[in-house]
Chains A and B, each alone.
Chain A
Amino acid sequence: MDMILKAIWSQLVTLFEVLRHTFTKADTVEYPEEMPYLAPRYRGRIVLTRDPDGEERCVACNLCAVVCPVDCIALQKTEDDHGRWYPEFFRINFSRCIMCGMCEEACPTYAIQLTPDFEMCEYDRQNMVYEKEHLLISGQGKYHGYSFYNVSGKSIEDKDKGEARNEAPPVDVRSLLP
């Protein structure tokens, strides 16, 4: 009986609490007359960023593509003359993208980032397909100072073996010293 009364009371309180909202102000921001503030980590248009040296951060590891729940990212790895990996093409089909940000979370190099820009409507769906030249920006985006190759063991132009962070110089394999 006590339980039943409590249950009824709880429903009545709910009704009253909701009714009280008749007199509260609406939270809605009337876009586009009024532009809302979007935090830097808002998940909008996706960009590809560059490292502090101005090189493409993307190493074409395919992790963003595999984590994408709608499979809207396609890319192909290629390599420069010095062994640096980069994408030959990088395509995002924004007509499929759900802006979930999983690609940004999966990215080991901070290359792929979501920006607060969400105004990207098109009359033609084909225009929603962004290629690398549309995605690549010239800055570092939200994360400054990170360069993947400076912490990875692979050598590239201007960064030899042993020159990455926390690496000893290459060993002399012919040494037999203890």
Chain B
Amino acid sequence: MPTIFVDDRAIEAKTGDNLLEVLLSNGIDVPYFCWHPAMGSVGACRQCAVVGYANPDDTRGRIIMSCMTPVTEGARFSVEAENATSFRNSVVENLMLNHPHDCPVCEEGGECHLQDMTVMVGHSDRRYKGLKTTFRNQYLGPLIGHEMNRCITCYRCVRYYQDYAGGDDLAAFGSRDRVFFGRAEPGVLDNEFSGNLVEVCPTGVFTDKTLSKHYSRKWDLQSAPTVCQACSLGCNTYTSERYGEVRRVHNRYHNEVNGYFLCDRGRFGAQHVNSPKRIPGAGIRNAGGLYEPVSIADALDKVKGLLTGKVIGIGSPRASLESNEALRQLVGADNYCNGMTSTEREMHGVILEVLASNLSVPTMMEVETFDAILVVGEDVTNHAPRLALSIRQAVRNIGQQLAADTGISQWHDAAVRELEQDEKSPLVILSPMTDRLDDIASDTHRLAPNDIVSMVEQIIEAIDEDKPSDAKDIASTLLAAKRPLIISGTSLSSPNILKVSANLAAALARKNPSTGIFLCASEVNSVGVAMIDNTGNAEELLGNRSETVIVLENDIDTRLGSALLDEVRNLVVIDAMDNPTTSRSSIVLPAASFAEAEGTFVNNEGRAQRSMATFNPAGDITPGYQLLSALGGDHLSASGWQQKLTAEHASLAGVVTCAPDEQFRIEGSRIARMTHRASGRTAMLADVSVHEPQQPLDTESPLAFTMEGNQTRAPASLRPYTWSPGWNSNQSIHKFQDEVGGPDKSGTTGTRLFTGSTELTGFELSEEASANLIGQVHIFGSDELSNEAAELSTLIPQPYARMSSATAASLEVSHHDGLAFGDIIMTVLVDDEVAERCVVYPMIPGTEALGSAQLSELQKVAGYTSPSDPLRPSLITTDRTS
């Protein structure tokens, strides 16, 4: 811990940090652009200049860039020195020479890092009278807008997109003041993490197009801390609302889960809340088969009348723990099942056992520290996207190691990359088809699911014996690593893959205790509902013929097959969105979406996290657990159900403590969801009535649906948005961190429910039929909810059948032929990177029937004309202004 002196104030600096990080960690405001806490320093923008002094006698000092300066014991610096402040001022003045007069029509206005920094340095007038440089924009797809005029050439976008996220279609072009950041040709940005450009760009070059469609300034948004619903990783998000619509999702920093970045499914998928398919109120099917809208009270009375005798409750892995527990209490533990298929339940059983075992399960941020990774049959980028970003950082460990050996600081980004060149830590991928991580993989094996299992078995054997083979190579790679990591998951729907991965991790752990295993679950709360009850079997329960079935936020027809509910007389469905199951129900109750209800979700690493309601739902829409409470007559609040969960399930004890309950106050006041300068309070609803209604009361959480209350002192689990005086953009997060890049001042949020002490005995593999038709998960298209987000739905690929040329020959089809199963017509794509005798199809709406199909049942379609690129939706790839 070196002590440095900044403006004669002694500061304890953390060893290994650069000066900028030290200053920001200690609450000293220094403007910066190109430095990013996750991407390190390159010293490109010259904005963070301070004065450094050579020794105690030096009174003149010299200008240095704080982001490029390591801290040493006793070093003296000045932030306030006149020449430093005027230098910083002139840097902003130069950056603003070509910045357009655009702020009123810029989506970034009000949360713009450039605005903040300009105000911070005190620059106000453009003295230069010359012409401003202009650029034409590009069409970058339906998610990201482009306005190149605003660029200040900090290079953050390409550093993020190419170096951090591994994209190859966004680059810097041109020379001198013509430097242009964009694609070679206009078109949809290819990378799954392109949405982060919106937050990475310090100004408004890359903007959120989905937000712009229904734009609100940051200060007008009502926000709440939420948990992303798009996959099992449980990334932390801020969901923001205005006029009853979810307007956007922003990253909520979590030092162990998602860090500074989100994937595009999570960022843009939450707009499903605004879908026209939302169920606005309760309905009862009449004799004519049509729904009659009824009041929620009438509908609940009707359902209460049906609750006599045996009632089956089918829960859901996408509903909160509270809702699932409320259903379980209503129907009784014997009549409840968690709504997953038996394969899913078996897979999540394995995950639960691994979590409970003494194997080390890292957090997503810890994944970045492993130096050899084996991915076993998991399509990480499509199934648990944010993890792919962490793997991309993990393979850089060799470079970090080289840098450490050479004495170069880790934050010295350009130097470290120069040093590592193309050196990568080993990443081995075992998958049936090409993987988005192939570009950084050291070794890939294309194998059918069953062959993956046998390959891993060979690796386990090869760990102990010495016989040259592919498996031996992988085994020795893993054995050579200081910290090897096994990643697997549920995307191939094969319990054996998970079991064998766990066995491999256990075998490795016996040789190297720092071995980690990271298993991706299916949905946001799959692990949570498996912890509530993983034995209840929907088929068995419904086989006993029951009069009334209550389905909670689960599309049974798609997940378990439509035949299952044919015999049910009274089907009560509680859901937020219209789907095949809701449209055959006798009574439908309108559930609140994640943005309208509080809920606790358990992610794949067993971390219970609380998601808060962002806004009060319109009309009769009610959180699922409240509907079920009303049916059960016990009217418990969210915290009431959390207490019950804790009481009923010993393993869920952390649910209560993962966030404060509704009694929590900061000096007597609640936490305001709106910013203190939210506008339009007396006019927003004045078209309906000039008499302003009372602000809705929040009985479920310590947050309030108003602008009155506290924000800056809220603990991380309740903080509705990040803002700090002078720091209007998301960069203000360092004001809430213990130190730059560290945990929140209020501690790490969420409670990990597993302590992991039991010895893993090793799983017995079960007999699995060899699957030849393999459903590929798609980041856009395979998630029931985010498919309904307006912009994401345009990115869902068209049906295809990908196979190797040998397989194609055996099926007597060729590239761009049509292949049919029932009424599903797919375009054949010949791709030798697909495992032999395997056909890969996309798991998108409409292809569910292929799950039970056999290769031999596929028929060639005569006279088929193929779309030009079935993997890409047919989009108009031009921009109106280009």
**What residues make up the interface of A, taking CB atoms closer than 8 Å to B?**
59-63, 65-66, 68, 70-77, 79, 81-83, 85, 89, 91-93, 95-96, 108-109, 125-126, 128-129, 131, 148, 151-155, 160-162, 164, 166-178
Contact = CB atoms under 8 A, between A and B. Distances in A.
Nearest to B99: A153
B150 interface: yes
Per CB-CB distance, the 9 closest pairs between chain A and chain B, nearest first, are A153-B100, A61-B104, A74-B680, A74-B683, A65-B679, A168-B131, A173-B180, A153-B149, A71-B681
A154 B129 CA distance: 20
Interface stretch (B52-60, B62-70, B416-424, B684-692): B684-692
B133 interface: yes
A178 B212 contact: no
A133 to B, nearest CB: 12
Nearest to A162: B134
17 contacts: A59-B105, A68-B680, A71-B679, A71-B680, A71-B683, A74-B680, A93-B683, A93-B686, A152-B100, A152-B102, A153-B102, A161-B881, A164-B101, A166-B129, A175-B178, A176-B175, A178-B175
Contacts of B215: 60, 76-77
A34 B134 CA distance: 57
B109 A72 contact: no
Given A166-B131, A170-B136, 13 more contacts: A61-B103, A62-B217, A73-B683, A74-B684, A83-B881, A85-B105, A91-B687, A93-B682, A108-B103, A125-B690, A152-B102, A161-B149, A175-B174
Contact of B105 (A82, A154, A171, A177): A154
Contacts of B173: 173-174
B19 to A, nearest CB: 35
B677 interface: yes
B649 interface: no
A5 B175 CA distance: 81
Contacts of B864: none
Interface in B190-226: 212, 214-217, 219-220
Contact of B135 (A68, A72, A85, A171): A171
A172 B133 CA distance: 11
Given A71-B683, A167-B134, A66 B220 contact: yes
B178 A171 contact: yes
Given A83-B880, A168-B134, A171-B135, A61 B690 contact: no
Given A61-B109, A175-B174, A154 B135 contact: no
A57 to B, nearest CB: 11
B700 interface: no
Contact of A153 (B150, B175, B690): B150
Contacts of B635: none
B880 A82 contact: yes
Contacts of A72: 680, 682-683, 686
State the majority secondary structure of interface residues on A: loop
B104 A126 contact: no
Contacts of B127: none
B689 A126 contact: yes
Contact of A76 (B131, B132, B214, B678): B214
B243 interface: yes
A3 B180 CA distance: 75
A173 B174 CA distance: 5
A73 B679 contact: yes
Contact of A63 (B104, B678, B687, B689): B104
Contacts of A70: 682
Contacts of A109: 104
A131 B687 CA distance: 8
B457 interface: no
Interface in B163-196: 173-178, 180
B130 to A, nearest CB: 8
Contact of A96 (B131, B137, B682): B682
B695 to A, nearest CB: 13
A155 B683 contact: no
A74 B686 contact: yes
B686 A91 contact: yes
Given A152-B101, A153-B101, A173-B135, A129 B690 contact: yes
Contact of A167 (B131, B220, B677, B684): B131
A109 B217 CA distance: 17
Nearest to A124: B690
B683 A91 contact: yes
A93 B686 CA distance: 7
B833 interface: no
A100 to B, nearest CB: 14
Interface in B679-732: 679-684, 686-687, 689-691
A92 B880 CA distance: 33
Contact of B147 (A77, A131, A154): A154
A76 B243 contact: yes
Contacts of A73: 679-680, 683
Contacts of B677: 66
Between B105, B147, B690, the greatest number of chain A beta carbons within 10 A of the residue's beta carbon is seen for: B105
B175 A161 contact: no
Contacts of B147: 153-154
A79 B211 CA distance: 12
Contacts of A61: 103-105, 109
A79 B134 CA distance: 22
A110 B174 CA distance: 38
Contacts of B105: 59, 61, 85, 152, 154
A152 B103 CA distance: 9
Given A73-B680, A93-B690, A126-B689, A154 B100 contact: yes
